[in-house]
Amino acid sequence: MSRPGRGRWFQVFRKTIQLLSVSFVAYAAISMHWRNYKLAHNQERLVTLMTNEVWGTLYTLNERMLALFGEPHAVSDGFLGGPWAAHVAGVAFVDPLNVGAILASGEIPPWAALIGALIPLVLAVFLGKVFCSFLCPGRLLFEVANGFRFLLVRAGIPVASVSIPRVGLGVAVGSVAFAAAAGAGLFHFVLPYLAVSATIHHAILGGAVGGIAAWTLGLFLFDALIAPGQFCRSVCPTGALLELVGQRPALAIATDGTDCPPSCTLCQRACPYGLFVGRGDHQPACDSCGRCTTVCPERKVSHHIQVPLRKSRLPILMVLVAMSLPTAALAHHNKGLPHYGYFENYPQVPTDEYVQISGRWEAGATVFNFQGLQRASSETPHDVRIFAYLYDLEDDHGYEGPLTLTVMRKDEVVRVLNRIEPDEEAVYVARVEMPKSGDYTLIFEFELDGEKQRTTLPFEVDLAVDRVNWLVVGGLVTTVGMVFILALGNKRRRHAPRAPAAA
């Protein structure tokens, strides 16, 4: 039996990285169970009593593994998230579209997010769309779909092979604008890797599958039965952005410069996007997956290092490198306030943050609606928790004395709370049962140097956060409809399906 060539070993390496990427997503979800057990029980015996021996054993094994690198819980902080926003060994990786949606909504992302978004862009400058071929869980899903398609072809079952106009950049702009107005949930439906990651997280953390799993299955069938490789190549906004940045990567696939036989199209048939390396028109859409290098009978196709970089790209590269250099954080705490007073520390629950300056006082409150995701079954569906603070702008410190907090709805007093001192460091905490959704006012009353002080802070409470967001549903239906209309309407590309080469 012949030994595999370099192209085969490259595919083995790539598949290994893909499986590790998916494993990271699964581990990040499983580790959330471990983190909960760590904080609640911190002992294998208690975890076993609360669950079963399997979870108890897994708890201990994970703790021992993490202990090799330091304090287990602290180490686990470095392995959270997924490709959309992840921490790997303390390094943040963020999809640039994520940061774009935050900026479009009028917010300024943290420095860590901005730097994390630059990492995939810098990689794209040097290596092109390697994220797509190595790290994207969605690409692995589509390669499985391609194998399923191959089995259908071998069985004589007819399948379509249509093309979709390249609308990725338009989808990127539209998605960012839509997410800024209606929330980032839309990205689950335009980014295949996010759909796959969310499906894995829901299955592990919730023990169930839902609408996002159905959408993931739909993407699988769409790629297998209708338009192989087209969602990745033509629709995915992250792929389009990386392609725009990596126009001429340093690592690229090319021929050896000699002419290919006129009748040979093996590289095009092996390519998941249908690109033809032999004609040299595969860049910049090529993601260097290398599948074409394994099928070329004369080994004319291989990976090449292209140096030096073009002068026109040097300014862009210099800006990206300069922006990605380490920068000093201005403060670890916001005006000395504790972490639990921050909105961004609680992304897992519906929250809103309100700040208003009146004279020398800055009044702020973070409103947490903890029952927002399970309101139908909650015993206290109208309870919200308010973390409020006062900050003296003249003396530059937080107020920590006696305080009366009054929650008002129009002219109606909802609740009055008297505090002798802050509940948690410099923050006053109130749990209030709200009568209904709407606009409220939080009144701060206190004395300073013998003078009564009073400041107000308007805020809003939404007690129906589990209602159907018809704006999102409408956007989803429109997006799906456009994709299928484009695919099914392009009948001139209904030719015999190509069979993929063995990976």
pLDDT in tens, 368-395: 765 444 555 556 667 888 888 898 888 8
Give the pLDDT score at 408. Answer: 92
Task: Answer yes or no: is pLDDT of 332 > 60.
Answer: no
Residue 493 has pLDDT above 60, yes or no: no
Grade residue 207 by pLDDT with cuts at 50, 70 and 90: low
The predicted pLDDT at position 442 comes to 93
Residue pair 367/459 in contact (Cβ under 8 Å)? The answer is: yes
Q: Is the pLDDT of residue 324 over 50?
A: no
Identify the residue whose tokens are 């201990």: 60
Say whether pLDDT at 275 is over 70.
yes
Hey, what are 269's tokens?
A: 């048939």
Task: Check the CA dihedral 353-356-357-361 and report its sign.
Answer: negative
What pLDDT score was predicted for residue 403? 92
Whole-number Cα distances in Å, 279 to 282, 283, 497: 8, 10, 20
pLDDT at 407 over 90: yes
Domain boundaries, the chain: 6-114, 130-313, 351-461
Average pLDDT, integer, range 424-448: 87
CA distance 377 to 171: 37
The span from the CA of 298 to the CA of 382, in Å, is 71
Return left, alpha or beta for 104; rule: phi > 0 is left, psi -120 to 50 is alpha, else beta.
Answer: alpha
Would you place residue 341 in the very low, low, confident or very high pLDDT band (cuts 50, 70, 90)? very low
Query: Are the CB atoms for 462 and 369 separated by under 8 Å?
Result: yes
Residues forming beta bridges with residue 304, ordered by sequence position: 252
Tokens matching residue 495: 């030719």
The CA distance from 458 to 205, in Å, is 36
Inter-helix orientation angle 168-182/470-489, to 10°: 170
Q: Is the pLDDT of residue 86 over 80?
A: no
Task: Provide the CATH topology of domain 351-461.
Answer: Immunoglobulin-like (2.60.40)
Quickly state the pLDDT bin for 457 (edges 50, 70, 90).
Answer: very high
Span 76-85, average pLDDT:
70
Higher-pLDDT residue of 214, 280: 214
**pLDDT given for residue 42 in this prediction:** 77
pLDDT at 399 over 80: yes
Q: Residue 243 pLDDT more than 50?
A: yes
pTM over 0.75: no
pLDDT > 90 fraction of the chain, expressed in percent and rounded: 10
pLDDT of residue 139 exceeding 70: yes
* Range in 208-212, 350-354, 363-367, 436-440 the model is least confident about: 350-354
What is the rounded distance in angstroms from the CA atom of residue 81 to the CA atom of residue 194?
11
The segment with the largest mean pLDDT, out of 27-36, 174-183, 226-235, 319-328, is 226-235
Task: Say how many Å lie between the first and final Cα of the chain, rounded.
Answer: 18
Which one, of 26, 30, 6, 20, lies nearest residue 294 by Cα? 6
Name the nearest CA neighbour of 399 among 315, 440, 475, 455: 455
Q: What is the pLDDT of residue 378?
A: 59
Rounded CA-CA distance 499/246 in Å is 29
Are the CB atoms for 403 and 390 separated by under 8 Å? Answer: yes
* More confident position, 496 or 14: 14
> pLDDT band for position 37 (50/70/90)?
confident
